[in-house]
Structure 1
């Protein structure tokens, strides 16, 4: 089992540079979810362990009560029925966290986030690949396994920001945050790969969605330029050799 999302979140909270990019996140309880819904219009309830966008519930305040979404299922409930609606999607033995919702920017009408593939084949962390994960139509998660597709990150940012200077500064910040995340988590855990997921708002604000210690590389097979994919596979080979020695 990989490192829990809550554990990684707490480790990153200790770094002031990362703290300002972390959305409010807590271990899930029904009372905590209700408290957060008083502050935020949307919250996400996620499995503490797991990847691929599976098991995520979105709760959104609407005109009359709440909209609860799970995959493509959508239900509208009042306050009295909210607990039951959420509970119906939770695994009895699972641990969950609750996170404030982000207003992610869109690309061609679909939300997107950034996946940064970090690897440590030798002594330093390298950025092996960067891509935008664009959600499938009507989806609220961007994951490849939920129909999301990869687009060159620079292309997506160039469409979001009209000024090239803004694109460059955003890419610089993304790289800085990703490297710091990898070093921070690596301090407490023996890892050599990390999939960093960053959300970007319309105004350019960057949020840390999560860091996956067992990242998949399928997203990079969808990019026309196969250089990042080749780099990822080469580094995977180097890491395997290093672990075997």
Structure 2
């Protein structure tokens, strides 16, 4: 089941507890993109139905110009040309949204975010795995298809919070609670969902954000972990879901 990013964002925005964790997200228009760039130093342009980090454009405000980057390609343009530069990397068949950029925390010099893998083989949602997604060097997306790799989440959070166990546990507990709320919120409108990949971002100051929720999540990142417990649980639940519902 594929549901557009904007629809999921709007559904999550309606929940009072989730709202504060969602970065500003609008449909892409020339005015909307420029207004957001005036408020934030960077924005991400995403295809509404994209996955795996494919098609994501980053625009960064510099001192007197903008850097528009798409994968390894980039252009430096003035504010008058920024929307034209964005359009040059877009697919005409796609509708795009613009999302406030986050100053993601780093692990070993690369940005990272967090994937929470949720499944519903029976009547209740369960967290089958949590993993840190570390971007390839100098990349601005963390996805596996774009060179990202999985690292044990506890290790990465301990590194970020300088071995402060309370901060690590607080982050894990908050993500666990928010993941349950997200799953229940989206499931109310879309009863056929049985798997969710929820992506969280943590900024350098420890601030937590919900980046997005994916209804067709990949689980390759879990193959990178030395402990295969989560991977085996995901695969077992996948088999159950296939057997019971498809």
Mark yes or no: TM-score above 0.5. Answer: yes
Alpha-carbon separation, structure 1, partners of 2:80 and 2:12: 36
User: Once the 2 structures are TM-superposed, how far is the Cα of residue 203 of structure 1 from its aligned partner?
Assistant: 2.3
Alpha-carbon separation, structure 1, partners of 2:208 and 2:18: 10
Alpha-carbon separation, structure 1, partners of 2:30 and 2:80: 12
User: Does 2:211 align with 1:174?
Assistant: no
What do the CA deviations read for 1:207-228 (whole angstroms, capped 9, x no partner)?
0111100001111111111100
Alpha-carbon separation, structure 2, partners of 1:219 and 1:31: 37
Identify unmatched segments of 5+ residues in structure 2: none
Where 1:80 maps in the other structure, the secondary structure is coil
User: Does 2:84 align with 1:84?
Assistant: yes
User: Once the 2 structures are TM-superposed, how far is the Cα of residue 46 of structure 1 from its aligned partner?
Assistant: 0.2
User: Once the 2 structures are TM-superposed, how far is the Cα of residue 152 of structure 1 from its aligned partner?
Assistant: 0.5
User: Once the 2 structures are TM-superposed, how far is the Cα of residue 111 of structure 1 from its aligned partner?
Assistant: 0.3
1:2 counterpart residue number: 2
User: Once the 2 structures are TM-superposed, how far is the Cα of residue 136 of structure 1 from its aligned partner?
Assistant: 0.2
4+ residue segments displaced more than 6 Å: none
Where 1:22 maps in the other structure, the secondary structure is coil
User: Once the 2 structures are TM-superposed, how far is the Cα of residue 202 of structure 1 from its aligned partner?
Assistant: 2.1
What do the CA deviations read for 1:16-74 (whole angstroms, capped 9, x no partner)?
11000000001111110011111111011000001000000000101221000000112
What do the CA deviations read for 1:100-120 (whole angstroms, capped 9, x no partner)?
000100001100000000000
2:245 counterpart residue number: 243
Alpha-carbon separation, structure 1, partners of 2:73 and 2:14: 37
TM-score, normalised on structure 2? 0.97
2:142 counterpart residue number: 142
Alpha-carbon separation, structure 2, partners of 1:130 and 1:210: 15
User: Once the 2 structures are TM-superposed, how far is the Cα of residue 171 of structure 1 from its aligned partner?
Assistant: 0.5
1:122 counterpart residue number: 122
Alpha-carbon separation, structure 2, partners of 1:93 and 1:134: 30
What do the CA deviations read for 1:180-223 (whole angstroms, capped 9, x no partner)?
11111111012000000000012221101111000011111111
Alpha-carbon separation, structure 1, partners of 2:165 and 2:77: 45
Match of 1:204 among 203, 206, 211: 206
1:157 counterpart residue number: 157
Alpha-carbon separation, structure 2, partners of 1:99 and 1:70: 15
Where 1:98 maps in the other structure, the secondary structure is strand
Root-mean-square deviation (CA, aligned residues, Å) is: 0.8
Where 2:81 maps in the other structure, the secondary structure is helix
The alignment of Structure 1 onto Structure 2 pairs a total of residues equal to: 244
Alpha-carbon separation, structure 2, partners of 1:37 and 1:204: 23
User: Does 2:57 align with 1:57?
Assistant: yes
